[in-house]
Amino acid sequence: PPSHAAPQAHPRSGPGPALDSDTLARTVRAAADGDDRAWATLVAAYSKRVFALARSRCRTEALAEEITQSVFVTIATKLGSGHYAEQGKFEPWLFRVAMNRIRDEMRRQKRHATPTDPAVLSDARVAPEQAPGPDDRELAALRDAMQGLNGPDREIVELRHHAGLSFAQISETLGQPMGTVLARHHRALKKLRTMIENHASMKEAG
């Protein structure tokens, strides 16, 4: 079995170099054969993107890192088992694994969610030095708007703008026609823009 069976991804260390299709194919084959350097190349190239995708859904960086580690453990296990059959489709496969792991975690959180005591909310105060700045408010508005998208549209936005996939790769990852992916992406961005503009208008009116 390959020595990278329990990989450690470091998503905050910065992305590795982008791999062209031929280099990626060679690297995946070498990683499947147990080459630790090839595996390190894959982790460097993709861990930050997987982390960004997970962080877009998770409340904490710690959970996003946990999901990232879990994804790469799955990838390493599949590659090392000798049953990898995604030649030429590594990126869509990787992010399909990531999306499935994120969906599982979101379902788990929903099942175990507990309501917050209203008294806790009413007592919550933000210290002046902790008040959000303009950039923080814009990010919060975007996150709130993302919550307003339906699941399929949100996934397309996340895969495109967090994971950095091409529309062709998103189509392959989600198993949807290219036209459907493009239409949903356009519709989602339009809805996001509208929600953010409405949010800004309400702030100005208040």
CA distances from 16 to 6, 38, 42, 166 (A): 20, 12, 8, 18
Which residue has tokens 């930050």?
Answer: 48
- Of the two residues 100 and 114, the one the predictor is more confident about is 100
Reference 92, options 159, 20, 181, 45; nearest CA is 159
Q: What is the pLDDT of residue 176?
A: 93
Percent of the chain with pLDDT over 90: 45
Residue 130 has pLDDT above 60, yes or no: no
- Of the two residues 108 and 70, the one the predictor is more confident about is 70
What's the residue count for the chain? 206
The string of pLDDT tens digits covering residues 155-202 is 999 999 888 899 999 999 999 999 999 999 999 999 988 888 887 776
Q: What is the pLDDT of residue 149?
A: 87
> How far is residue 143 CA from its own chain's centroid?
14
Which residue has tokens 């949807």?
Answer: 176
> How far is residue 124 CA from its own chain's centroid?
30
- How far apart are the two ends of the chain, measured CA to CA in Å? 62
The string of pLDDT tens digits covering residues 32-62 is 998 999 999 999 999 999 999 999 888 789 9
Residues 6 or more apart from 100 whose CB is under 8 A from it?
Answer: none
